[in-house]
Structure 1
Amino acid sequence: MTLAGLAVLVGLGLWQLERKAWKEALIAQLDRRLSAAPIALPPPAEWPRLRVGDSEFLRVRLTVQFANADDALLYTGGSPLRDDIKSPGYFVLAPGRLPSGEQVVVNRGFAADRTYPRPSGSLDIVGVLRWPEAPSWFVADHDSGGSIWFVRDPGKMAQVRNWGPVAPFYIEQESPVPEGGSPRPAALKVRLRNDHLQYALTWFSLAGVLAAVFAVWWSSRRRANEPAG
């Protein structure tokens, strides 16, 4: 039983070290994407073939014209990807029409309140391609009116806000910054937790404790079985 327990604990420690290496590689990959020069947004014909792992945090450039539609305001109390957000407020998401006619939802940036200017005409944007968040069983997607949102889901937003068909992804705008500074876009910084080394050390420590306890037990048992005298 002790050997089986040691094998399990050591195995869990080694698995955490593998997870640590995987997480470090993922962080390095996303950092490279966010520091790379932007490329043209993939054309609509390629959208069905895009995969999350290959395109998440890809920097892109695109030209859009924002429709005269009601924005979706995504509530935020602060963002791990944005150091500049120090207070609660909203991310302003709006549908932008591409020159080809398709629509893509753009997170135009952070607004401290619900008063901000709307852009007019065509706008050249640099941003980051992102994919929708998974819905939560414990958090509603939006308020009863559909104007305040709690989950980033451009498809659901488009349905509730009557925007029409939109791309399966959305764009986090980096630039340009609008006159007046609201909503305020900014460059993103990837911050993924990487606690796997601590977890590995915990499992290895437990394995060491188990081995020490077994050694003490085995030693005391041997002494007890030694003949007297």
Structure 2
Amino acid sequence: MKRIPIVSTIIVALCIGAMIALGIWQLERKAWKEALLERYAANIHKSEIAFPRFPDQSVLFRPASGFCLEPVSFDLEGAGKAGYRVIAHCRTGAEGPGMLVQLGTTRDPAYRPHWRGGEVHGFISHAPTHRSLIGEMLSPAPQPLLLVANTPPDGLSPNGTPELSSIPNNHFSYAVQWFLFAAIALVIYILALRRRRPTA
């Protein structure tokens, strides 16, 4: 009978251990995300605050207000069945970052906003970043926020209400995948070892 290859076994064991550790980490993330979603659900019913100058994930979905001195540019972002979200990049007059305002939605891909700014009331949501899910997980920068206006300017359809379903919570399925990968790797390695045995 051939000896079990030590180096290969150590490498496989380390890989399986890493997969199991990632699965456990995803279960911990699941508990963290569920607590976060509870906070977001409570935020919807809290009193209005000033839109934060810097990203603060703890106030997501909370009612807020801000004043746009001047929109310096506009973006159209996909909004599914609603068409496109119209997002204004606002100058606030204060030092530091300005403010993003989601004015409303339109089905016209060539829409040109004529909004000139002013006071905005709405709720806080995540701004689009175009980063992948892995990029979001690995990026040290917090996800930027925007103010979703309650009342759209003329020519735009109203924004939707806060939706907790927009916050992904797939950690349990990710954990199951990592555990399955670990089990598959173990089975494949055991089968490879059995094939090394000399035939009679």
TM-score range for the pair, normalised by the shorter chain length: 0.5 to 0.7
Change (3 A) 1:40 1:14: closer
Cα separation, 1, equivalents of 2:189 and 2:112: 67
**Which of 47, 50, 53 is the matching residue for 1:38?**
47
Alignment-derived partner of residue 12 in structure 1? 22
**Which of 58, 61, 66 is the matching residue for 2:62?**
58
Matched, 1:129 2:124: yes
Matched, 1:176 2:170: no
| TM-score normalized by the length of structure 2 | 0.58
Alignment-derived partner of residue 22 in structure 1? 32
Cα separation, 1, equivalents of 2:90 and 2:195: 74
SS at match of 1:171: strand
Give a deviation string over 1:120-161, Cα, whole Å, max 9, x none. 9x86x531235766587xxxxxxxxxxxxxxxxxxxxxxxxx
Alignment-derived partner of residue 111 in structure 1? 106
Cα separation, 1, equivalents of 2:60 and 2:23: 30
Cα separation, 2, equivalents of 1:58 and 1:23: 17
| TM-score normalized by the length of structure 1 | 0.52
Question: Following TM superposition, by how much is the alpha carbon of 1:118 offset from its aligned partner in structure 2, in angstroms?
Answer: 5.2
Q: Which runs of 5+ in 1 are unaligned?
A: 137-167
Cα separation, 1, equivalents of 2:14 and 2:91: 59
Cα separation, 1, equivalents of 2:92 and 2:18: 55
Which residue identity lines up with residue 26 of structure 1 in the other structure?
L
Question: Following TM superposition, by how much is the alpha carbon of 1:209 offset from its aligned partner in structure 2, in angstroms?
Answer: 2.7
Asked whether the 8 Å contact 1:111–1:184 carries over to 2, the reply is no
Cα separation, 2, equivalents of 1:97 and 1:3: 55
Question: Following TM superposition, by how much is the alpha carbon of 1:75 offset from its aligned partner in structure 2, in angstroms?
Answer: 1.0
Give a deviation string over 1:143-182, Cα, whole Å, max 9, x none. xxxxxxxxxxxxxxxxxxxxxxxxx965211x2356x662
SS at match of 1:37: coil
Whose radius of gyration is greater, 1 or 2? Answer: 1
Cα separation, 2, equivalents of 1:169 and 1:213: 46
Question: Following TM superposition, by how much is the alpha carbon of 1:14 offset from its aligned partner in structure 2, in angstroms?
Answer: 1.0
Question: Following TM superposition, by how much is the alpha carbon of 1:76 offset from its aligned partner in structure 2, in angstroms?
Answer: 2.0
Change (3 A) 1:221 1:95: closer
Matched, 1:187 2:158: no
Question: Following TM superposition, by how much is the alpha carbon of 1:202 offset from its aligned partner in structure 2, in angstroms?
Answer: 1.9
SS at match of 1:93: strand
Matched, 1:91 2:86: yes
Cα separation, 2, equivalents of 1:7 and 1:92: 45
Total equivalences in the alignment: 171
Question: Following TM superposition, by how much is the alpha carbon of 1:16 offset from its aligned partner in structure 2, in angstroms?
Answer: 1.8
Change (3 A) 1:219 1:196: same
Which residue identity lines up with residue 171 of structure 1 in the other structure?
L
Percent identical residues: 19
Change (3 A) 1:220 1:71: closer
Asked whether the 8 Å contact 1:59–1:129 carries over to 2, the reply is yes
C-alpha RMSD over aligned residues: 4.3
Cα separation, 1, equivalents of 2:112 and 2:160: 19
Question: Following TM superposition, by how much is the alpha carbon of 1:61 offset from its aligned partner in structure 2, in angstroms?
Answer: 4.4
Asked whether the 8 Å contact 2:40–2:58 carries over to 1, the reply is no
Asked whether the 8 Å contact 1:52–1:131 carries over to 2, the reply is no
